[in-house]
A and B are shown apart, each in its own frame.
Chain A
Amino acid sequence: MTTAAETLKPRRPSLRPVWEEKPTLAGQIGKGAILTLVVLVVVVPLWVVVVTSLSSADTINNAGGYVFLPREFNPSAYVAIFSGGQVTDAILVSTFVTVVGTALSLSVTVLAAYGLSRTGTLLHRPILFYFLLTFLIYPGMIPTYLVVTGLGLKDNLLSLIVPTAVSAFNLVVLRAFFMSIPSELLDSARIDGAGEWRILFQIVLPLSRAVTAVVGLFYAVGYWNSFFNAVLYLDRNDLQPVQRILQQFILAGQAPTNVGSGAVVHIPGLGYVAPPNLAIKMAVVVITLIPALIVYPFVQRHFTKGVIVGAVKG
């Protein structure tokens, strides 16, 4: 527990404010018990996943699946995943898509959220409905495919970004936060002659660092994890995002079942496939978690209190 916590490096130590009561013993115990329970419920399965990913086929077979107690340190699953070179290439592709995509999405979403953050502006309601309606009506697969390929985006990494660049959910969440910024702050800036762009970049965004970071995280995770657009729009095998490659390791050797009759279809060539190995599946899960663990502290550091009060006083 402590080792993981230490690596997260908090920005600064915070102490109990002077005005707050001393915690009661019962409160401390209750809180501690709940926290321990919450952490254990997550950590135990996580532990099993990690241990299984480092187990040999023999250990896994004997356990009939998941392994609880480590018997060996066998990184062969990780070696198998990284040795082909496809995963490292795919990480580059995914990093590009995630960085560019998040930058684009966050920019257009912040702009639109701010543009809609004041009720009573011209066409405010129709524009808001325009965004909200995307929650309810979805485009189908073939029409979207026709649009994306019609724009010449097949085998282009932009096809992994633009079709899902705007999330109305993120937009309305951001807007709600923008709307809760005290209006006197914005009004005084306006009286000082600041234009909307200046207000957005010099007042609203600095005050909304936490939620902006969160929305950025939502977008980034979305881009990093998505693979279905790649299935549809990327024919080239050297241009694949990492989740797609990892999926292939997970599903390796799984003979497809015939949905209609329930019969398992016999694929002659599959005898040659590297066997589906629970260790590989679990290693893929662990590899998926690593970027999540790396990125979260950067988001979290924006969860600092007191930005608004500072702004009001300054």
Chain B
Amino acid sequence: MSSSPIVEEAGAVTAPAPAVHTVKTMSFGARLRRDWPLMLMCVPAMLLLAVFHYLPALGNVIAFQDYNPFAGDSPLQAFLSSEWIGFGNFQYLFETTAFWDSVRNTLAITAFQLVFYFPIPILLAMLLNSILSPRLRSFVQSVVYLPHFFSWVLVVSLFQMMLGGSGLIAQTLREAGMTAPDVMTNPDTFMLLITSQAIWKDAGWGMIVFLAALAAVDPSLYEAAAADGAGRWRRMWHITLPGLRPVIVLLLILRLGDALNVGFEQFYLQREAVGRDAAEVLDTYVYYQGIGVQQWGVGAAAGLFKALIGLLLILGANKVAHKLGEQGIYSKS
């Protein structure tokens, strides 16, 4: 195993090489006999989701209702007795330009963060992986993952403490006789601000799964590559990155499926500071126009809209992944 061209070798071991069972030649009974243990293993998780996820998810019928929890003789009856209004809730959402503004903002933030946030945990994991001293490595790892446990209120107020108009930097500048910029209330740089906040809070947390992936890379590959004369950058390109690739692709697709979710609290807190034009995302819009005025059907309709967009994006991204020869989230055929 530890000889011959490294690139192919790396691909053979670390890139997904699933055992594709021959499908067409086997009868249903034979497949059942072969696969029932695997299917049985899925049952407990499926049951839990059936009871606690899908059963209550039936309540999303209120997306097509003017839901009144007090209609009918029981809370369950209310889901049947509330007035059916067809697509009224969707219409309520879709016909305002403010809704589409919020969708556009959300997608822009997702796109921006895919470029400027998504790679950071990967780079951080690779950097840490290259540290030889285990003590230093554990120390840095434990430190950078801590901000994940901070609430958004705290993160925003810590940013204000450092960068705000009355913050440390501003006051230092003032003492030096300079004018202090206030990045906390500047709508033009808001995208940069929220992305920095997101990186600060969650890059260390996001790094962990990549560290696990790096731990799964066979070290003998590096040794073989080094023996073949590959330098550190080539090794990174040909062994480390391919080792991470399945996870990167998977998380990328999942993030795309979540494209319309960029968080709520972070934007809710800073909305007034930079204004609605910069900070209104889909979730804050739905909060103010749906749930905030007790239009739960509108909230459910927005949820279904997000699901549809998410599904389309996941399917599309998966197709692209297949074209590029990746496993993606589910396989072809």
Contact = CB atoms under 8 A, between A and B. Distances in A.
Given A10-B135, A305-B215, A308-B216, A285 B154 contact: yes
Interface string A122-139: 110101111110111111
Contacts of B299: 140
A130 B36 CA distance: 17
Interface in B138-162: 138-150, 154, 157-158, 161-162
A114 B311 CA distance: 24
A195 B37 contact: yes
B32 to A, nearest CB: 6
Given A144-B56, A210-B215, A211-B212, A21 B231 contact: yes
Contacts of B200: 41-42
Contacts of B39: 115, 121-123, 127
A267 interface: no
Given A179-B327, A285-B154, A305-B219, A10 B48 contact: no
Contacts, number: 313
Contacts of B101: none
A235 interface: no
Interface in A273-314: 281, 285, 288-289, 292-293, 296-297, 299-300, 302-309, 312
A309 B39 CA distance: 29
A293 to B, nearest CB: 6
B139 A5 contact: yes
Contacts of A19: 222-223, 226-227
Contact of A177 (B23, B35, B36, B216): B216
A122 B51 contact: no
A303 B145 CA distance: 15
A214 B208 contact: yes
Main secondary structure of the interface of A (DSSP, over half): helix
B5 interface: no
Given A10-B135, A14-B132, A139-B59, A176 B48 contact: no
Nearest to A186: B19
Nearest to B17: A183
Most buried by B among A44, A148, A213, A309: A309
Nearest to B293: A260
A84 interface: no
A151 B35 CA distance: 33
Contacts of B250: 172-173, 176
B18 A179 contact: yes
A13 interface: yes
B178 interface: no
Interface in B225-252: 226-227, 231-232, 246-247, 250-251
A142 B59 contact: yes
B52 A140 contact: no
Contacts of A122: 28, 31-32, 34-36, 39
B37 to A, nearest CB: 4
Contacts of A21: 226, 231-232
Interface in B157-192: 157-158, 161-162, 166, 168
B81 interface: no
Given A42-B146, A139-B60, A305-B219, 19 more contacts: A8-B135, A20-B232, A35-B136, A45-B147, A46-B143, A64-B166, A112-B42, A114-B38, A115-B41, A122-B34, A130-B46, A139-B53, A140-B56, A140-B62, A143-B57, A143-B59, A147-B55, A302-B215, A309-B219
Interface of A: 1, 4-6, 8, 10-17, 19-21, 31, 34-35, 38-39, 41-46, 48-49, 64-66, 68, 107-109, 111-112, 114-123, 125, 127-132, 134-140, 142-144, 146-148, 151, 162-166, 169, 171-173, 176-177, 179-180, 182-183, 186-187, 195-197, 200, 207-208, 210-211, 213-214, 217, 221, 225, 259, 281, 285, 288-289, 292-293, 296-297, 299-300, 302-309, 312
7 contacts: A10-B135, A48-B158, A66-B158, A114-B41, A137-B307, A147-B56, A305-B215
Interface of B: 1, 12-23, 28, 31-32, 34-42, 44-46, 48-49, 51-60, 62, 69, 75-76, 79, 124, 127, 130-132, 134-150, 154, 157-158, 161-162, 166, 168, 200, 204, 208-209, 211-220, 222-223, 226-227, 231-232, 246-247, 250-251, 254, 257-258, 292, 296, 299-300, 303-304, 306-307, 310-311, 314, 327, 329-331
Chain A to chain B: the 9 pairs with minimum beta-carbon distance, closest first: A143-B59, A139-B56, A115-B41, A143-B56, A10-B134, A120-B21, A5-B139, A136-B307, A19-B226
